[in-house]
Amino acid sequence: MSNIYLSSTYKDLADYREAVYRALRKLGHNVISMEDYTASNQKPLDKCLADVAKCDIYVGIFAWRYGYIPPGRTESITEIEFREAVKLKKVCLLFLLDENTSWDTSQKDLPPHRINALREELKRDYLVSFFRNKDDLAVQVSTAVSNALPLSPTTEKAVEPDTESNSGTMTSRATPIWIVFAMILVLIGFVIFLLAYDDLSAKASVQGMVGIVLTLIVAVILFSIVNSAMQVRGAALWGGVLGISGAALFYLLLLPMIKPFIFPSHSIYGYVFYESSNPQNLVPVPGVIAVLPSTNQRSAPTDASGRFDIVSVYSDDTNIQFQHGGTTYPAKTTDHADGRYAIIPVRVTEPNPIQRPVATPWEQSKTYKCSLMAEQRYVAAMGFTLNATLARNDQEISRNAKSLHLKVRLDKEFGDLTQPNDRDTESPSFDFVEPGDVETRVLGWEWPIVDVNQRNVKIDLCVNRRKGDKVASPSDLATIYWYGVRGEK
């Protein structure tokens, strides 16, 4: 049972006070109000302030009368009681008559400047609720008192000025500063996670309708826990923030790990070939990585037979992608029911290219940041940049060879090559692949039409090392080039 002090002007709100008094008494609370005062030597104002000091919860009800101003004071008893409750850090529950509610003009102050000023201050600086009739007020006060009980006794929480919206709020509970900092840190961490998380867009659509339903359930549970556990102002807001953040983490991180235990998984496998007009004479493509976009699951690079395997697949998505030489080739499993994916175009090949080494050495890049492919268990990566001028020789000029090709090889002991991009925005290169090239060992670029006798190229590559691989240097990158005549095989 709590001691509750009921404060308001009397004549205009007598019926309202009675309704609140009865409602709180039914809940078992001890209600202190002027109706209970008996003859005493104590001055009325001193008695009121003493009762405010003894209460656990202060309930202030304000209509359109400012109230009696004692001799020698500049504020009414009603306002003095409220100021004392705030000063003593009581739990303060404030209720204002709704401005759209009709009211007897004889029960309004004329002029109304004092009560208007007090009401505006309460609405501006504190959390308040609005009532329309005595029954509405009784219900609101009962609910607010029940919600505020965890904050009693009086030493636990104080009313602090607040600029939040006051509509529909029943209690004025201040958020401890440590909770505010904790929420800010959670939000900052979540934003950093979203910015840094790899392939977030693919993960965002991974789980289907079942995953969405499970995530909504998690959000509701988290909101309920936080909203009930945090007895502070804005608990619902923080509950919503943490509920959404926690549900998003569940959706992106936890659900992909637990879903295979709930739903059966399967494997997707097949073979990748170069495109050919003769389906009976297909050439397999090594070094292709198969990707399931909906889950971002990847296969190991295809072997010499062109075979790929994506294991532990629990998505029903039939879309699949093949990454080869920096290019992505989309496909549908339903269009290749036999598992033979003849989709990789054959690039230009030269019967007798005049290959020669690039004289300009590679330089370790200081600006390019390589991305490690986690599924290959790489432990480090190093970027290299080539900025070279590549000239045609007399024989290539006589053949009118205008297609510039550049290839770089790296021994396996140094790690795997990945091809990020070239920096030529005016005439970018195409990925150059020849049958037999293993793209973790060999990278190639092609500039289809070069109308001048020499061309400056600037390209990047990465060397991704596993544990035990040697550290590559520029001299380990064997680089050749030639000019050829374009033609399709």
pLDDT at residue 489, as a whole number: 33
Q: Tens digits of per-residue pLDDT, 447-458?
A: 878 888 999 998
- Averaged over 238-251, what is the pLDDT? 71
- Averaged over 193-199, what is the pLDDT? 52
pLDDT of 88 higher than 90? yes
Q: Tens digits of per-residue pLDDT, 308-332?
A: 999 877 666 788 999 987 788 999 8
- Averaged over 12-40, what is the pLDDT? 83
Q: What single-letter amino acid sits at 135?
A: D
3-state DSSP percent of the chain in helix, strand and coil, to 5: 35, 25, 40
Q: What is the DSSP track for 368-393?
A: ------GGGT--EEEEEEEEEEEE--
Confidence of residue 158 (pLDDT cuts 50, 70, 90): very low
Distance between CA atoms of 416 and 86, rounded to whole angstroms?
A: 69
Any idea what DSSP says for residue 75?
S
Between the two ends of the chain, the Cα-to-Cα distance in Å is 91
Q: Which two tokens stand for residue 393?
A: 């020789």
pLDDT at residue 262, as a whole number: 55
Confidence of residue 245 (pLDDT cuts 50, 70, 90): confident
- Averaged over 178-191, what is the pLDDT? 63
Distance between CA atoms of 407 and 143, rounded to whole angstroms?
A: 76
Distance between CA atoms of 400 and 347, rounded to whole angstroms?
A: 19
- The residue among 25, 59, 8, 30 whose CA lies nearest residue 171 is 59
Q: How many CB atoms lie within 10 A of CB 402?
A: 18
pLDDT at residue 337, as a whole number: 84
Q: Tokens 């296969």 appear where? A: 299
Q: Tens digits of per-residue pLDDT, 413-463?
A: 998 888 766 666 667 777 777 767 777 888 888 887 888 899 999 888 888
Q: Omega of the bond prior to 293 within 30 degrees of 0, cis?
A: no
- Name the more confident of 144 and 228: 144
Confidence of residue 238 (pLDDT cuts 50, 70, 90): low
- The residue among 162, 176, 462 whose CA lies nearest residue 326 is 462
Q: What single-letter amino acid sits at 212?
A: I
pLDDT of 161 higher than 50? no
Q: How many CB atoms lie within 10 A of CB 469?
A: 17
C-alpha gyration radius of the chain: 38
Q: What structural domains and CATH numbers belong to the chain?
A: 3-151 (3.40.50.10140), 177-262 (no CATH), 266-344 (2.60.40.4130), 356-484 (2.60.40)
- Name the more confident of 187 and 332: 332
